[in-house]
Amino acid sequence: MPATCSIWRVVVVIKREIVNVRVFQEFHYLAQRMLMPQDTADLVGTKGANFTFSIDAGMIPQNGGALLIVGGQADQKLVVAASGREVTVPNLPSGDSTISLALVWAPGETNDATIDVGTVTTGTVTAPVPKHTIDNGDSPGFVELFGK
């Protein structure tokens, strides 16, 4: 067998393996995306719920420190309590949404911020067990919501 034929086969095998790796990576990505959003959200509630959530580390500036981000809509400023650790969500959107928090971390603070449900005025809202956290030092920090 000529040497060029063997080289061609090696190239074909290498290309096939690269394609297999890429297909596996695509499959892995799609499999992760197939998780139900409520399975990965930080807070899950009924569409339209009015509630507060809190963090126990870091501080959120009161003026524009919390933004509700919903696909296809303008970002909405949310009310931050005087404590700098509680945010009011007046109307939980349907499906996936995200809250961006402009977190300020005190020098020497070492704790991550645990996300928890505060007062629920209308509807229902729950946090998973164990509660999710925002890593110390992250700014912005994100809270993923799901309304059903």
Q: What is the largest CA-CA distance in the chain?
A: 80
Per-residue pLDDT at 10: 46
Per-residue pLDDT at 34: 52
Per-residue pLDDT at 2: 53
User: What is the per-residue pLDDT across 37-57, written as a single tens digit (0 to 9) for each?
Assistant: 678 999 999 999 999 999 999
Q: 120 or 23, which is more confident?
A: 120
Closest C-alpha among 108, 73, 106 to residue 91: 73
Residue type, 12: V
Alpha carbon distance 27, 49 (integer Å)? 35
Name the residue ranges covered by the structural domains of the chain. 1-34, 37-147
What pTM does this model have? 0.75
Q: What b-and-e string marks burial along 60-80, b requiring 16 or more CB atoms within 10 Å of the CB?
A: beeeebbbbbbeeeeebebeb
User: What is the per-residue pLDDT across 87-126, written as a single tens digit (0 to 9) for each?
Assistant: 999 999 999 999 999 999 999 999 999 999 999 999 999 9
